[in-house]
A and B are shown apart, each in its own frame.
Chain A
Amino acid sequence: MSPARNVLPREGGFVLVLVVLMLFAISVAGAAGYLVVNTEFSMARYSDQGAEAETIARAALNRFIAEQLGVVGDSVSYAIGNGVGLITSRKLFEADSLNHLYYIRSEGTVTDAMTPTPARRVIGAYAYHRKRPLKHFAAVMVAADQGYSYGATGNVDGNDQNTSGDCAGGGLPATTGIIARTATGAQAGALLNGSPTGETWTGGFNQIYDSVALRWDILSDPSFPIEFDGAPPNFASLPADSFPVVRMIGPLAPGSSWSGRGVLIVTGKFDPGPSFNWDGIVLAGEVDDINQGNIRGMLVGALNGPNLQSPVYWYDTVRYYSCYVHAANESLSYLELVENTEFEAL
């Protein structure tokens, strides 16, 4: 039988109190340290998210303007990085029927589950909507030394085949038949009409490229989104007044399956066959020497550089239809940022 322990009431009590006090002091200091670090971390994160929201807003604004083709949308949103860029546009002024001024507002937000309020920044800018960017210089405009209408069925005509009753802006004065660098004309019984029938632009490719004022580098970039890329749409399923942009990256020798309307962009060599028919505008990086088919509108060729083949012959018809050109041209309309107007709304 072991003796009962005789525990004195004062033993250990002092140490316990001291330990509790020290633990309390350490916990207070620890909590203070945690708060300090946590506050610093939160501030840094808010700042970082604010900067990201601003970057997203600017990126969305520039993406919207760069990718704009055709009718200007009222609102578009992009998922960029950790946030979203929301674009809204408002037309503010019509300088004339072809140039409208828009206010583009871009709101970038970054949402974080750990942050009570999303970081938000707003960037604004102004941009002109160039509604019909391609000028009507000629029925056939090619950056080759020589361009000819050729053969018994050859017919290049710069006279407008539409009248003012066909569409708004229809029935325009005749334009040039063919534009090339050194020589134009009709050979082997072909027809060539227009006013004048032909023009030589001695500046060649550079003069033509600068004059048409197209964003060819963008339109021909595979990463630039085009609605119908690589294959034509089913035109029967589109409204009759729809003149879409259709693009082929690389060479194309179109036949009847590619016949249609709108803007046809061929980034490589364009080599149309006799069954090809197109209403609108054809833009080509390069043009074959022997071309067939029928275009009711305009052809602008060799936008990649001076055409590798010359002369360029057209065996069938290219006739200027201003109404088809207008309709297709509006599908090429784009936004041009008004320089020095991008600002951060505080």
Chain B
Amino acid sequence: MSGTFLVQSQYYSSQKLRVGVHDNARVATERIAAEIRSTMQDGFVVAGRRTLTIRAPLVLGVICNRLGSQDGDIHTEGGETAFNGADMAGIAVRDASTGAWDYQTATWSYIDANNSAAADDCADNGADTTWAASEFHRVQHLGDLFSPTPVEGDVMMLFRETTFRIQASVLDTMTLGLFRQVAGGSEVEFATGMDTTAQFQYRTGGATYADTVTSGAIGNIDAVRIVADARLPARSGVLEDITFGWTVNVAVKNLP
């Protein structure tokens, strides 16, 4: 009788751990994949085995009007309320001839000119502002940030710089954790229970993945493999660690 209940208890504990380890792996990969997928060309900053830093767009916009040497009116989907200015690490401009992005570090408060005339000025240049006046806003310091200064019709990006690290967990010191840090913010552990084999790998064309990428080839990354192996140590009633092998390949879809 007691044996029956003991086995039941072990089964239940084992199942619970197994669910936990699956969840850890899934959360880690889903969260990272969503950000990696959005990365644009030249958006990889650090591509290491346990550290990945990327610049991904908060939003893209178009300069529909220029004023003087510094200011410009831009349209972004949803307007200013559609993104969190505190997450912004900088602004980038697309080179109209090469398609390459020129990334410059800046805060939202630095470039926000907070002027309500942007929609009217863009309408004068042909923009359809119907029901979307709030999606147009004025930015400043363009001349200070870029050379040559962007012109009307240029596409811009407000980007976030995010670093993912696999390192010793704070929440469960017996395992590794996945940490996420937005530039200017603090490091947050949002997935615990990673195994020692967890890491990032990179593809730079072809079909093979490498643990690290040279600085010269970092611009050629077209896919990231997340090896999110998970492990939960044995708990009461369960004799062995529960492990879960989980690997996801994330293609960077916004490359030309």
Contact = CB atoms under 8 A, between A and B. Distances in A.
A124 B30 CA distance: 21
A338 B61 CA distance: 12
Given A124-B77, A346-B34, A341 B122 contact: no
Contacts of B253: 58, 342, 344
B59 A92 contact: no
B155 A338 contact: yes
A71 interface: no
Interface residues of B, number: 49
Nearest to A345: B77
Contact of A126 (B5, B16, B62): B62
B26 interface: yes
B4 A25 contact: yes
Interface in A103-121: 103, 105
A95 B154 CA distance: 10
A76 interface: no
B127 A93 contact: yes
Interface string A299-343: 000000000000000000000000000000000000000111111
Nearest to B15: A36
A240 interface: no
B132 interface: yes
A22 interface: yes
Contacts of B8: 25-26, 29
Interface stretch (A39-47, A78-86, A191-199): A39-47
A231 interface: no
A93 B4 contact: no
A95 B62 CA distance: 12
Interface centre among A22, A43, A90 (most CB of B within 10 A): A90
Contact of A90 (B125, B128, B254): B128
Interface string A1-27: 000000000000000001000100110
A28 B128 CA distance: 61
Interface in B40-65: 40-41, 56-60, 62-64
A94 interface: yes
A346 B153 CA distance: 23
A33 interface: yes
Given A91-B128, A93-B62, A103-B77, A340 B101 contact: yes
Contacts of A91: 126-128
Contacts of A32: 12, 15-16
Contacts of B184: none
Contacts of A93: 62-64, 122, 125-127, 152-153
Interface in A32-60: 32-33, 36, 39-40, 43, 47, 58
Nearest to B78: A345
Contacts of B117: none
A29 B60 CA distance: 51
B99 interface: yes
B225 interface: no
B165 interface: no
A33 B101 CA distance: 50
A343 B254 contact: yes
**A-side interface size class:** 20 to 34
Nearest to B129: A90
B1 interface: yes
Contact of A344 (B12, B38, B152): B38
A105 B153 CA distance: 18
A341 B75 CA distance: 14
Contact of A92 (B22, B40, B127): B127
A344 B254 contact: yes
Contacts of B94: 338, 340-341
B190 interface: no
A101 interface: yes
Given A40-B19, A93-B127, A126-B155, A343 B40 contact: yes
Contacts of A26: 8
B60 A124 contact: yes
B127 A25 contact: no
Contacts of B41: 340
Nearest to A95: B153
A304 to B, nearest CB: 29
Nearest to A39: B19
A342 B254 contact: yes
B256 interface: yes
Interface centre among B5, B37, B126, by most chain A C-beta atoms within 10 angstroms, is B126
B11 interface: yes
A48 B35 CA distance: 17
A36 B256 contact: no
Contacts of A33: 15
17 contacts: A22-B4, A25-B5, A32-B16, A36-B15, A36-B18, A36-B19, A58-B253, A90-B128, A90-B132, A91-B126, A92-B75, A92-B126, A93-B153, A95-B152, A95-B153, A126-B155, A346-B38
Q: Across the A-B interface, give the 3 residue pairs with the lowest CB-CB distance, nearest first.
A: A94-B126, A340-B99, A339-B99
Interface of A: 18, 22, 25-26, 29, 32-33, 36, 39-40, 43, 47, 58, 90-95, 100-101, 103, 105, 124, 126, 338-346
Given A29-B8, A91-B126, A103-B77, 9 more contacts: A39-B19, A40-B19, A93-B152, A101-B153, A339-B99, A343-B38, A343-B60, A345-B77, A346-B38
